[in-house]
Amino acid sequence: MQEAIRIENVSVIYRPKGSRKLLRQYLQDRLTGRRDEGFYALHEVTLRVGRGEGLAVVGANGAGKSTLLAVLAGLLEPDEGAVQVDGRLSTLMELGSGFHPDLNGWENLRLYAAILGMARAEVKQRAEAIVDFAELHGYMEQPLRTFSSGMVLRLAFAVAVHADCDVLLIDEILAVGDAAFQKKCHRRLMELRDRGCTLVCVSHISAMLESLCGRGLWLHHGRAVMDASYQEVAAAYTSFMNGTDRHLWDALPAAPVRTAGA
């Protein structure tokens, strides 16, 4: 299997910054050399994803899914471990990131395309197709703040799937838009994947995710607790979320806390 993504023992530690402290506590900490505790948003995650493979990342809120995607996108440098992502990257992260409310639709299209590394000539050549896909003809001259959130999403999605990418990262936005638009997105993602683009999707368990992703990764408190076929992961995670499997609860690791410099 040719690999597109390799991450080795990756940890991301968040440390509380600027939390208010009494002067006495502050001095005590200074004298004893104690520093604020950090916690692992990701803890020793190792993962390899092949070219053209679809990986669904599931987990409760705060499990570290977006952190993992940010590390893959190169937006976040891990505190420990190594990350390698081969080829061109396209990302669909939080709704509206990379967009500017005062610029009009066309300007935002070009801005986002530039962020994704599309050349000027490519953008020019594909702009019509992008607006077609987003079904936004007649709106593009207006400033983005007049767009509904669904329209912003359609624009973001359309740009991201028209960039030539080897790896596409999608965070929690698959389920937005009406049924017809979702179907169209699904078709497009299948096409990209069949052309060899690697997909990493954070989303809720769904039939759409199942057909896009053969594989699932379950994150829990920053750890990869299950890496298996999508069906297996979806079944285990669903029964965990429904609270039907107590054994699973007991088997899962508690949140690791690290005390720095104590």
Ligand X SMILES: Nc1ncnc2c1ncn2[C@@H]1O[C@H](COP(=O)(O)OP(=O)(O)O)[C@@H](O)[C@H]1O
Instruction: Compute CA distances 254 → 39, 134, 216, whole Å.
Output: 12, 43, 21
Q: Return the one option of ligand X, Mg ion, none that residue 244 interacts with (CB less than 5 to 8 A, by type).
A: none
**Contact between 66 and ligand X per CB under 6 A:** yes
**Contact between 41 and ligand X per CB under 6 A:** yes
Residues binding ligand X: what is the number (CB under 6 A)? 10
**Contact between 203 and Mg ion per CB under 5 A:** no
**Distance in Å, CB of 148 to ligand X, minimum:** 24
**Contact between 66 and Mg ion per CB under 5 A:** yes
Binding test (CB under 6 A) with ligand X, winner from 2, 9, 14, 191: 14
- Point out which span in 9-17, 46-54, 63-71, 242-250 binds Mg ion (CB under 5 A): 63-71
**Contact between 65 and ligand X per CB under 6 A:** yes
Which of 41, 192 has the CB closer to ligand X? 41
Place of tokens 């994704």: 116
**Contact between 216 and ligand X per CB under 6 A:** no
**Contact between 64 and ligand X per CB under 6 A:** yes
Is the Cβ–Cβ distance between 209 and 56 less than 8 Å? yes
**Distance in Å, CB of 78 to ligand X, minimum:** 12
Binding test (CB under 6 A) with ligand X, winner from 59, 105, 177, 216: 59
**Contact between 26 and ligand X per CB under 6 A:** no
Is the Cβ–Cβ distance between 241 and 218 less than 8 Å? no
| Helix/strand/coil for 201 | strand
- Point out which span in 27-35, 65-73, 88-96, 237-245 binds Mg ion (CB under 5 A): 65-73
Cα within 13 Å of Cα(113), Cβ side: 24
**Contact between 91 and ligand X per CB under 6 A:** no
Q: Return the one option of Mg ion, ligand X, none that residue 61 interacts with (CB less than 5 to 8 A, by type).
A: ligand X
**Contact between 61 and ligand X per CB under 6 A:** yes
**Distance in Å, CB of 67 to ligand X, minimum:** 3
Instruction: Compute CA distances 192 → 122, 177, 234, whole Å.
Output: 17, 20, 23
**Contact between 198 and Mg ion per CB under 5 A:** no
Structure letter (DSSP) for residue 140: T
Instruction: Compute CA distances 105 → 116, 136, 252, whole Å.
Output: 16, 9, 46
Is the Cβ–Cβ distance between 63 and 34 less than 8 Å? no
DSSP string, 219-231: EETTEEEEEEEHH
Instruction: List CB contacts of 141: < 8 A, sequence separation 6 or more.
Output: 104, 105, 106
Which of 41, 123 has the CB closer to ligand X? 41
Please name every residue paired with 63 in a beta bridge, in sequence order, or none if there are none. Answer: none
**Residues 124, 243: Cα–Cα separation, whole Å:** 51
Which of 65, 220 has the CB closer to Mg ion? 65
Is the Cβ–Cβ distance between 91 and 160 less than 8 Å? yes
- Contact residues toward ligand X (CB under 6 A) are 14, 41, 59, 61-67
